[in-house]
């Protein structure tokens, strides 16, 4: 029996399910149209494409690290200058958020352990 109170939930599921399927269909249509073009491309760009596939932040961070270390060797002076000029408001935000997060974490962990001890039957 359909539950009247869940009606809105199913409405949302339906609308977003439709959006998802349409978007996926559109993406695949677009992808398959591009496929021949890609195959005609040079070997080099196809390799590049393969390497960029499924790239995530961690890969980028690694790459950035490598880049920065290469740069850093060459121009250590420039490097620190560059970061100092990236705006003082940003710098303040960086200090405040980092300090807040790092300072509160020990208390949260300790509080959680306390709660675990008190709660466990």
Partner 1 sequence: MKNVRFDFIIHWLWTIVFALLVLSGLAMVGAKYGWILNYDIASADYIHRLLAAVYVMLTFISVAIEVIRGIKGDDKKLTWFIIGKSGYQLFTFITTLIFIITGVIIWVCMDSNIAAVSFALYIHEKLTYIVIASVIWHIYVKCHALLWPKKTEAKKNSMEAGK
Partner 2 sequence: MMQKPWFKLVIWILATSFFFMASSIIISHLSPGPTEHQSMRYMEGMMGAMHNSLMGLSMTIEEDFDLKRLIINASAITIPLICISIILGLYIRLIRGKRNAG
Contact between 55 and partner 1 by CB under 8 A: the answer reads yes
Contacts of 65 (CB under 8 A, 6+ apart): none
Name residues whose C-beta falls within 8 Å of residue 38's C-beta, 6 or more positions apart in sequence. 46, 49
31 binds partner 1 (CB under 8 A): no
Distance CA 88, CA 79 (A): 17
The answer to the question of residue 54 lying near ligand HEM (CB under 6 A) is: no
**Which residue has tokens 């978007």?**
23
The verdict on 6 binding partner 2 (CB under 8 A) reads no
Q: Which residue number places its CB atom closest to ligand HEM? A: 57
Among 2, 53, 58, 73, binds partner 2 (CB under 8 A): 53
Angle at 56 between CA 40 and CA 26, to 5 degrees: 50
Q: Which spans of this chain sit near partner 1 (rule: CB under 8 A)?
A: 4-6, 8-9, 12, 52, 54-58, 61-62, 65, 93, 96-98, 100-102, 104-105, 107-109, 111-112, 114-115, 118-119
């Amino acid at each position: 029996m359909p539950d009247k109170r869940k009606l809105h939930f199913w409405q949302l599921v339906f609308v977003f399910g439709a959006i998802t399927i349409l978007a996926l269909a559109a993406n695949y249509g677009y992808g398959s149209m591009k496929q021949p073009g890609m195959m005609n491309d040079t070997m080099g760009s196809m390799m590049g494409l393969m390497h960029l596939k499924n790239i995530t932040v961690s890969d980028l961070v690694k790459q950035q690290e490598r880049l920065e270390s290469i740069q850093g060797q060459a121009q250590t002076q420039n490097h620190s200058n560059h970061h100092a000029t990236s705006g003082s408001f940003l710098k303040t935000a960086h200090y405040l958020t980092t300090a807040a997060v790092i300072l509160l974490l020990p208390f949260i962990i300790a509080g959680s352990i306390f709660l675990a001890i008190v709660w466990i039957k």
